[in-house]
A and B are shown apart, each in its own frame.
Chain A
Amino acid sequence: MMMRRLRGIQTPADCGPGFPGGRRRGRSGGRRGVKRLLMCLSAGVFFTALASSGAAQAADAGDNDSQREVTLRVCNWEEYIDLGDWDEEETIDLDSGDIIGVNSMVEDFEEWYYENYGIRVNVEYSTFGTNEDLYNMLTLGDTYDLVCPSEYMIMKLMTEDQLVPLSEEFFDTGEGNNYYINGVSPYIRSIFEENEIGGKPWADYAAGYMWGITGIVYNPKLVSREDASSWKILNDPAYQRQVTIKDNVRDSYFAAVGAIKSELLTSREFLEDPDYKKNLETEMNDTSRDTIARVQEYLQDVKDNAYSFETDSGKADMVTGKVAANYQWSGDAVYTMDQADEDDYTLAFAVPEESTNIYFDGWVMLKNGIDGDASKQHAAEAFINFNSRPDNAIRNMYYIGYTSVISGGKDGRIFEYADWCYGAGEDEKDVEDYDLGYFFSEEDREPEGSYVITAPSDQVSRQLSAQYPDQEAISRSSLMVCFDEEQNRAINQMWINVRCYNIHDIPVWVWALAGALAGMLALMGIRKIKR
């Protein structure tokens, strides 16, 4: 087995400035640097082409009246699906067969759907930048059938009764094309089943797509692993102006809560409590007035200490060495480390001891899009299933760099891919076993140790630990729930207090200067009028 091969030219320049909003993922563009740049330039061209190919198909369908056409409006994160057109040498040569993205996933889906169900489907594919953007788009009246927001936005949409539940057929494990239910990791499935909104589990409405955790990417030459393993690094004076933090409320809030409660969260008493997991989630989602006040104080401190709040520049700044550590989502962390590797520059990833934010992006169907149309719902669910087919999940993972929720079930290819990426070569001496049983094992069906990757030792603190966090990191992961309106208002106010210049902070000399300036202008004005 060989290490994951990396190709493509690094593009340190950002595609464009970001908006200070919620979580933005997938912009990393994954492994394929060249593609990313092209994408920036020609996303428009691509979608125009897509649309016209769709139109061509529509024309085909028109020739034969017995053929109905279904239009499926999908809205996903930017660069969050395989757009195809790989070079031959990028083929993922697993023992069980080669995997390569020739066409875009969307085109492949249209073809696959026609072959399987005899109905032409025309996918209108569009993208969004942040969860908040998506929500604003929906509020403004954009209609989509299938969207892929993060878990907290799914919770919000569920609360607002905007979603269509997944059909019973979708969960039928006997059906061969139901790749999602037959392939989703049991670990992810249990999370989707255990978490409820209004008495209904997420699983009724949402099918997972990608997932990950948050952590710190750091330069091991400048930052010790111990320091990087705590959220407190963000305001650590030892790393003054050397650490970046995410420029959005939720991620900053999570890190700040982790930092201010660090002592409690890492205390033995807390860790050994039988209700640890539940307590952890309560603590990390604490929005009491006192906590918000402390978070504000902490973040103000961070603002004075950190390099910056970044929307999109953190990855590049890490690779170019402008900063020593960077708060990052695991998928982007993988991308950052990959990019650094290309420059023979080593970066590592640490998961803070206090807690890590586990997040999911999932497919949900919208009521105002589906509108009771069974054929539409069928196509939407088929789209989820098609993307969950192990080879397609691998294509998406390879292309965007995040981790699919699919473990493959009876199909071993996902694990094979993980091993293909990170497994050590036969001649490598310094190796370590890395157990991913929690993610891949089907409820005790397989003996322990069936899913162990023998990886080069350094991978345990690098890409592998970001793409597939180990059991230990998972054990201290916490979901961040969807806050209600009042909590949101308090937290957003806190955020504005942190980010805005308070008028009371203006020093006297500035007031004096401003006064003098205004006086001068007024005097000039008066003189002009007198003349």
Chain B
Amino acid sequence: MQRRTFSRKYLGIPYALFLILFVVAPLIVLFYYAFTNGQGEITFGNLTGFFTDPNTLGTLFYSFGIALVTTVVCLLLAYPTAYILATSKLKAKSVILMIFIMPMWINFSLRITALKEILTWMEGNLAYHPFLNTVLGMSYDFLPFMILPIYTTISRLDGALLEASRDLGAGERETFLKVTLPLSLPGIMSGVSMVFLPAMTNYVVLDMLYNSTYIMGSLIGSYFAAYNWNGGSMIALILLGIICLFTVLTGGAQEENTRGGALL
């Protein structure tokens, strides 16, 4: 009788099926639409159209701007927090960390609605500061994604390195700049990619905080609402390209740090 062999490989089958159905297949469809016109003929018109239209380029620029500022704000807030948290001798560290992650358990649109009320209370009329509000909303939304990876890298830093640095006569400041900061770079990179890319497309925050200027996500939506699937697909594809490029550029750094993301 033949023994049925069970290999761990089989456990991957559901995931592979999932990938094929929900990642690969849509991608093929996306490619098809991006490189065809309304009549189904192959064309590069959508691609050239994107890079010659001042509106799409402007939107790309605007999205970049929002994402960049959001990332910088998140980084400035998250790094000190993560650093202090990771290096402190507090016993309740995990509890404090939990407080930072907790907002993520609350429904996202509910959180932004609450933020909207707080900002209205502070600013009076939200409509005068659409860019600021968008950045605040996104930072609020994405902050935990920045804190966690930085926290994990810093807390996993080899204490011996820090001791060695001090033994060799470096001060606190020098130790931080020459040892801690470079070694926490992978965490920063991973955090940056987790904040920057969603911030480019998350038009819901934009919408809810009354910013009437399109970003990439809303632009794609408007193309589809105008039945222009081909143009919309091309924008989505270009975004995908940007994400790939970004991931490759920061790729080396990220690998070490997948655990931080897994916590989310």
A313 adjacent to chain B (CB < 8 Å): yes
Which residue of the partner chain, among B127, B207, B226, contacts A17 with CB atoms under 8 Å? Answer: B207
A531 adjacent to chain B (CB < 8 Å): no
The total of chain B residues at the interface (CB under 8 A) is: 36
Is there contact, CB below 8 Å, between B226 and A501?
Answer: no
Is there contact, CB below 8 Å, between A14 and B109?
Answer: yes
Provided the pairs A14-B109, A21-B221 are in contact, do residues A503 and B58 lie with their beta carbons within 8 angstroms?
Answer: yes
> What chain A residues lie within 8 Å of B222 (beta carbons)?
20-21, 492, 495-496, 499
B225 adjacent to chain A (CB < 8 Å): yes
Provided the pairs A130-B225, A241-B128 are in contact, do residues A500 and B210 lie with their beta carbons within 8 angstroms?
Answer: no
Name the residue of chain B whose CB is nearest to the CB of A310: B210
- Complex interface: stretch among B7-15, B49-57, B152-160, B255-263: B49-57
Interface residues of A in 478-495 (CB under 8 A from B): 488, 492, 495
> What chain B residues lie within 8 Å of A249 (beta carbons)?
225-226
Smallest beta-carbon distance B220→chain A, Å: 10
Which of B56, B125, B207 has most A Cβ within 10 Å? B207
Is there contact, CB below 8 Å, between A499 and B228?
Answer: no
Docked pose: A303 CA to B214 CA in angstroms: 12
Name the residue of chain A whose CB is nearest to the CB of B207: A17
A309 adjacent to chain B (CB < 8 Å): yes
Smallest beta-carbon distance A12→chain B, Å: 8
Smallest beta-carbon distance A314→chain B, Å: 11
Is there contact, CB below 8 Å, between B54 and A504?
Answer: yes
Which residue of the partner chain, among A14, A136, A500, contacts B58 with CB atoms under 8 Å? Answer: A500
A19 adjacent to chain B (CB < 8 Å): yes
B110 adjacent to chain A (CB < 8 Å): yes
Smallest beta-carbon distance B132→chain A, Å: 14
> What chain A residues lie within 8 Å of B225 (beta carbons)?
19-22, 130, 132, 248-249
Smallest beta-carbon distance A523→chain B, Å: 15
Interface residues of A in 80-101 (CB under 8 A from B): none
A125 adjacent to chain B (CB < 8 Å): no
B31 adjacent to chain A (CB < 8 Å): no
A5 adjacent to chain B (CB < 8 Å): no
Instruction: Decide if the interface of chain A is mainly helix, strand, loop or mixed.
Output: loop
> What chain B residues lie within 8 Å of A497 (beta carbons)?
55
Is there contact, CB below 8 Å, between B212 and A303?
Answer: yes
> What chain A residues lie within 8 Å of B219 (beta carbons)?
496, 500
A16 adjacent to chain B (CB < 8 Å): yes
Provide the A13-39 mask, 1 if CB < 8 A to any CB of B, else 0: 110111111100000000000000000
Name the residue of chain B whose CB is nearest to the CB of A521: B249
Docked pose: A506 CA to B212 CA in angstroms: 17
> What chain A residues lie within 8 Å of B207 (beta carbons)?
17-18, 20, 247, 311
> What chain B residues lie within 8 Å of A139 (beta carbons)?
227
B59 adjacent to chain A (CB < 8 Å): yes
Is there contact, CB below 8 Å, between A502 and B208?
Answer: no
Docked pose: A308 CA to B110 CA in angstroms: 20
B204 adjacent to chain A (CB < 8 Å): yes
Is there contact, CB below 8 Å, between B218 and A20?
Answer: yes
> What chain A residues lie within 8 Å of B226 (beta carbons)?
132, 249, 488, 492, 495
Is there contact, CB below 8 Å, between B62 and A501?
Answer: yes
> What chain B residues lie within 8 Å of A503 (beta carbons)?
54-55, 57-58, 61
Is there contact, CB below 8 Å, between A500 and B59?
Answer: yes
Which residue of the partner chain, among A13, A132, A322, A504, contacts B227 with CB atoms under 8 Å? Answer: A132
Smallest beta-carbon distance A2→chain B, Å: 35
Docked pose: A311 CA to B224 CA in angstroms: 16
A438 adjacent to chain B (CB < 8 Å): no
Docked pose: A308 CA to B212 CA in angstroms: 6
Smallest beta-carbon distance B25→chain A, Å: 14
Provide the B184-224 mask, 1 if CB < 8 A to any CB of A, else 0: 00000000000000000001100110111110001101101
> What chain B residues lie within 8 Å of A248 (beta carbons)?
225
> What chain B residues lie within 8 Å of A311 (beta carbons)?
207
Provide the B92-134 mask, 1 if CB < 8 A to any CB of A, else 0: 0000000000000000011001000000100001111000000
> What chain B residues lie within 8 Å of A496 (beta carbons)?
55, 214, 219, 222
Which residue of the partner chain, among A313, A500, A510, contacts B213 with CB atoms under 8 Å? Answer: A500
Is there contact, CB below 8 Å, between A308 and B221?
Answer: no
Is there contact, CB below 8 Å, between B221 and A135?
Answer: no
Is there contact, CB below 8 Å, between A307 and B210?
Answer: yes
Docked pose: A506 CA to B65 CA in angstroms: 11
Smallest beta-carbon distance B252→chain A, Å: 11
Provided the pairs A21-B221, A503-B54 are in contact, do residues A135 and B59 lie with their beta carbons within 8 angstroms?
Answer: no
> What chain A residues lie within 8 Å of B57 (beta carbons)?
503
Docked pose: A20 CA to B59 CA in angstroms: 16
Docked pose: A310 CA to B58 CA in angstroms: 22
> What chain B residues lie within 8 Å of A21 (beta carbons)?
221-222, 224-225
Smallest beta-carbon distance B208→chain A, Å: 6
Which residue of the partner chain, among A13, A22, A306, A501, contacts B59 with CB atoms under 8 Å? Answer: A501
> What chain B residues lie within 8 Å of A505 (beta carbons)?
58
> What chain B residues lie within 8 Å of A132 (beta carbons)?
224-227
Interface residues of B in 41-85 (CB under 8 A from A): 54-59, 61-62, 65
A-B CB contact pairs (8 Å), 21 listed: A14-B208, A16-B109, A17-B208, A21-B224, A21-B225, A22-B225, A132-B224, A132-B227, A135-B227, A136-B227, A139-B227, A248-B225, A307-B125, A308-B211, A310-B210, A322-B120, A322-B126, A495-B222, A500-B214, A503-B54, A504-B58
Chain A residues engaging chain B, CB cutoff 8 angstroms: 13-14, 16-22, 130, 132, 135-136, 139, 241-242, 247-249, 303, 306-311, 313, 322, 488, 492, 495-497, 499-506, 510
Given contacts A19-B221, A307-B125, could you give 19 more A-B pairs where the C-beta distance is less than 8 Å?
A: A13-B109, A13-B110, A14-B109, A17-B109, A17-B208, A20-B207, A21-B225, A22-B225, A132-B226, A247-B207, A307-B210, A308-B212, A313-B210, A499-B212, A500-B58, A500-B219, A501-B59, A503-B55, A503-B61
5 closest Cβ pairs, A-B complex: A308-B210, A500-B55, A21-B225, A503-B58, A241-B127
